[in-house]
Amino acid sequence: MGKRIIPQRRGKGGLQWRAPKKGKIAPAKYPVIKAELVKGYVAEILHERGRTAPLARIELESGEVFYTVAAHGLSKGQVIEIGAAAKPTIGNILPLAKIPEGTTICNIELEPGDGGRLVKTGGTSALLFSQSGGKSIIRMPSGRTITLSNKCRAMIGSVAGGGRLEKPLLKAGKSYWKHKAKGKAYPRVRGVAMAAVYHPFGGGRHQHPGKSTSTPRNAPPGRKVGHIAPRKTGRKKITRVVGVK
């Protein structure tokens, strides 16, 4: 009888697979503000465990405090503005309708008032491509374009913490702690390297799946591994046109 495979154990949501709460500070969200302009200042720039970008602690004139990802170039004590009447400068938070086209933005709201959900990874940024009819077209870091409401807010600039991938980890222990902070498993064992009792692709004299790696969408847990409902697998086909220069 086969055992529960790793994806089944991870799906249970036990302590082994949860991101630890230790080292967490607060959710990075914009406050709900109805005024045209609210000013505040950067009280502190912090590091939160498992987060790739620095966290800025913002204190508003009213005394309210909130946390958000820091933009590149933001400094302690810097005054920031929030609202439709704010200036489009680094670190300020404005609705997309008030941001000029071609501006680099980050920490974008997916729905008006949700506090910011897109482009929050360290070193990333998006581009406000164009605006028309109450909608804004944004080019994401992946190159894909999305359309959002002009009422959604965003921060001017790119997220701080860029270049973090340039420094090599050098040893496996560093990678272990990096994954542990996010609740990820490391090292990740290949299915073909396991025994047959632990994985559908395991077992055999040689390391090979022994069956098709394409799995239907309605496969039962324990068999739903490999390429799940793939459109295509294998190498990409390159078409060559003969006789055209």
Q: What is the CATH number of the domain that holds 151?
A: 2.30.30.30
> What mean pLDDT do residues 187-199 have?
94
Pick from 16-20, 68-72, 141-145, 234-238: least confident: 234-238
Does 243 score more than 70 pLDDT? Answer: no
Is 164 inside any structural domain? no
Domain total of the chain:
1
> Which structural domain range is residue 87 located in?
38-156
Is 130 inside any structural domain? yes
Does 1 score more than 60 pLDDT? Answer: no
Is 22 inside any structural domain? no
Residue type present at position 235: R
Identify which of 121, 39, 110 has the alpha carbon closest to the alpha carbon of residue 81: 39
pLDDT at position 244 is 52
Pick from 65-69, 222-226, 233-237: least confident: 233-237
Is 171 inside any structural domain? no
Q: Which residues contact 49 (CB under 8 A, 6 or more apart)?
A: 20, 22, 23, 24, 181
> What mean pLDDT do residues 228-235 have?
91
> What mean pLDDT do residues 25-37 have?
93
Phi, psi of 71 (to 5 degrees): -80, 155
Helix (H, G, I), strand (E, B) or coil at 110: coil
Is 61 inside any structural domain? yes
Q: What are the pLDDT digits (tens) for 95-126? A: 999 999 999 999 999 999 999 999 999 999 99
Is 80 inside any structural domain? yes
Is 72 inside any structural domain? yes
Cα atoms in the Cβ-side hemisphere of radius 13 Å centred on 37: 9
Does 245 score more than 70 pLDDT? Answer: no
Is 211 inside any structural domain? no
Q: Which residues contact 9 (CB under 8 A, 6 or more apart)?
A: 16, 17
